[in-house]
Structure formats: structure tokens, C-alpha cells
């Protein structure tokens, strides 16, 4: 069956996205099978209009501290590494984007300005997620359920529990940004996110609570759940087990070398790296 703007809108409706919703969307658009990717954003807006809001993560990379002069300063036009959807939204004439140099969000619709206002270089990275929770937003993953798993509410739960303090040397990765007077500043992040690869481990708890909706959007397996309930579930799990969201990969730098509560992994991690380099 042909995938059109209308068929995507119907698929989103079946997932539970309705008029007036506030939705934070992360999407792998190639998995949807859309010929014209703009159809996807239009269908999202169709699904929540009127009075709805579509938001996405428009994160941008920093660089290592000693490469500062080579890092392009963040501006509202900076390209996001988070895929085609946020970059389409950045280019949209009615979008708002926040000023956080690494974790900006972009939004279109009724609450777009409210979600992005006040989120800048001096804010905590995941505060827009708190606003999403207050707005009873839904979290939507389209086509990236396993390739880029999990909801961004987990990062807020980690930060609220102080787990970001377990990250070693967060200041190693910096960004630069331009202030309202045109002056370039260096941005040092104090609340880095931990590894997100194991966020799929929360999926079972969402299912058990009865809050997760699943379905296809185009050809892409997709999930949707309410932000407030997800945050409560994640926070409780992490409060009881602070290493729940550690991945099992022997190659993961964050989980094996950059967490204070995992420094016992250093010898095996370094030895593994050494042996791999020798065989390559």
C-alpha cells in the first residue's frame, strides 16, 4: 500500500496521537518508507492540529576541549545530528528552537515557544522534558525503537537522581555558542547524559504498566507512551538500581571507562582495546 501523508496521519492516530496533543518525536525516517520525508512532518502536524505541538530533539555535537578553535559556535541554524526530522523542523518557518548549545529542542505549534523559552547555556540540559511532563505530552518513537532506543524522560530521571555526577570528566567535551551581543563563549556541560543504548531495558516496565501503545507508521515499528507515567516508572527503577541503565557492550566508552561506579571495568576495557588494536 502506498505511504502518503494521509496514511501516516492515520497510523499516528492508531498509535494514540490525537488532536491537541503535545508530542516529543524521535524518528528514523528511512524506516518509514516515505518517498517525500516532508510528508512525515506534515502528517505529524495534521495529527495534532489544531492546538497541538510537535517537538523533537535538535541536539548538536561538541568537541574535545583542546580542539576548541575548530568547533563551530552553536546558533539557531546549527545542523542537528539527530536526523532528518529535527533538521526539517529547524527549517520550518513556524518553528521555535532553544538556545542550549548541545541539547536544544525544536518545536512547532501551540506550546512551541513555552517549551523552548529559557533553555540555554545556563540551563540544565533536560529541563524541556520537565515542561513536556507538565503538559501531559506523549513520547513517540518511529522507526528507531531498537536502533536508538528509549524515551528522553530517562535522561531527566537520571539528572534528577544525581546520576550524571557518576560521569567522569564531563568537561572533556565542550561546545561554543554566540550570545545575544555576538560574542563567542565556551560552553562546559556539567550535567552530561549517560549511555542511552540500554534504554530498551525500560520497555518491559512500560508494557507491564499498560501505558505503551505499539504499531506501524508506514513500514516502521513505532511506540508511544505518556511522558509523566514513563518518567515515574524510570525514576523508580533507577532509584532502586542506579546501574540499571548500563549497557552490556564491552566497547562502550561511557559504561566501561567514564562512570565512577564502573571504574572496576577499566583493566578489562583497556586490555580489550589493546588486544583489538593488535589484531587489526
Question: Which positions lie near Zn ion, rule CB under 5 A?
Answer: 195, 197, 247, 252, 255
Largest CA distance in the chain: 59
Cα 141 from Cα 130, distance rounded (Å): 18
| DSSP strand pairing (105-109 vs 95-97) | antiparallel
Name the residue nearer to Zn ion (CB basis): 119 or 262: 262
CB of 238 to Zn ion, least distance (A): 15
Contact 226, 211 (CB under 8 A): yes
Q: Which is nearer to Zn ion, 125 or 255 (CB)?
A: 255
Closer of 25 and 255 to Zn ion (Cβ): 255
What grid cell was written down for 253?
A: 566508552
Q: How far is the CB of 256 from Zn ion (least distance, A)?
A: 7
Grid coordinates representing 72? 563551530
Q: How far is the CB of 172 from Zn ion (least distance, A)?
A: 17
Closest distance of CB 165 from Zn ion, Å: 17
In this complex, which beta carbon is closest to Zn ion, that of residue 135 or of residue 247? 247
Q: How far apart are CB 109 and Zn ion at their closest, in Å?
A: 34
Secondary structure (DSSP) of 153-169: HHHHHHHHTTGGGGBS-
211/265 with CB nearer Zn ion: 265
Backbone angles phi, psi at 166, to 5 degrees: -80, -10
Closest CA to 211 of 240, 237, 231: 231
User: Is the backbone peptide bond immediately before 50 cis, with ω within 30 degrees of 0?
Assistant: yes
Please name the residue ranges forming H helices in the chain. 5-15, 29-32, 38-48, 84-91, 112-116, 127-134, 153-160, 203-209, 227-240, 253-257, 266-279
Closest separation in Å from C-beta 84 to Zn ion: 25
Nearer to Zn ion, 15 or 254 (CB): 254
Q: Which three cell numbers stand for residue 33?
A: 518508507
- Minimum distance from CB of 196 to Zn ion (Å)? 8
Nearer to Zn ion, 90 or 195 (CB): 195
- DSSP 8-state class, residue 3: -
Amino acid at each position: 500500500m502506498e505511504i502518503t501523508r494521509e496514511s501516516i496521519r492515520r497510523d499516528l492516530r492508531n498509535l494514540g496521537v490525537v488532536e491537541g496533543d503535545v508530542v516529543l518525536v524521535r524518528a528514523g525516517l528511512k524506516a518509514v518508507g516515505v518517498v517525500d520525508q516532508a510528508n512525515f512532518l506534515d502528517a505529524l502536524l495534521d495529527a495534532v492540529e489544531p492546538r497541538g505541538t510537535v517537538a523533537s530533539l535538535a541536539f548538536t555535537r561538541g568537541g574535545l576541549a583542546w580542539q576548541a578553535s575548530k568547533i563551530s559556535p552553536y546558533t539557531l541554524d546549527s545542523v542537528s545530528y539527530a536526523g532528518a526530522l529535527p533538521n526539517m523542523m529547524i527549517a520550518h518557518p513556524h518553528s521555535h528552537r532553544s538556545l542550549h548549545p548541545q541539547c536544544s529542542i525544536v518545536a512547532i505549534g501551540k506550546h512551541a515557544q513555552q517549551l523552548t523559552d529559557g533553555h540555554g547555556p545556563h540551563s540544565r540540559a533536560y529541563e524541556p522534558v520537565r515542561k513536556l511532563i507538565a503538559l501531559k505530552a506523549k513520547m513517540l518513537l518511529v522507526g528507531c525503537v531498537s536502533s536508538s532506543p528509549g524515551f528522553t524522560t530517562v535522561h531527566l530521571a537520571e539528572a534528577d537522581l544525581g546520576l550524571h555526577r557518576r560521569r567522569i570528566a564531563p568537561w572533556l567535551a565542550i561546545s561554543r555558542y554566540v550570545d545575544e551581543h555576538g560574542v563567542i563563549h565556551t560552553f562546559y556541560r556539567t550535567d552530561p547524559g549517560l549511555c542511552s543504548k540500554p534504554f530498551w531495558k525500560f520497555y518491559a516496565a512500560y508494557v507491564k504498566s499498560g501505558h505503551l501503545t505499539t504499531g506501524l507508521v508506514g513500514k516502521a515499528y513505532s511506540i508511544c507512551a505518556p511522558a509523566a507515567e514513563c518518567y515515574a516508572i524510570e525514576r523508580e527503577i533507577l532509584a532502586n538500581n542506579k546501574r540499571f541503565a548500563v549497557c552490556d557492550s564491552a566497547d562502550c566508552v561511557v559504561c566501561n571507562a567514564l562512570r565512577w561506579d564502573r571504574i572496576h571495568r577499566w583493566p578489562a576495557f583497556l586490555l580489550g582495546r589493546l588486544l583489538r588494536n593488535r589484531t587489526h
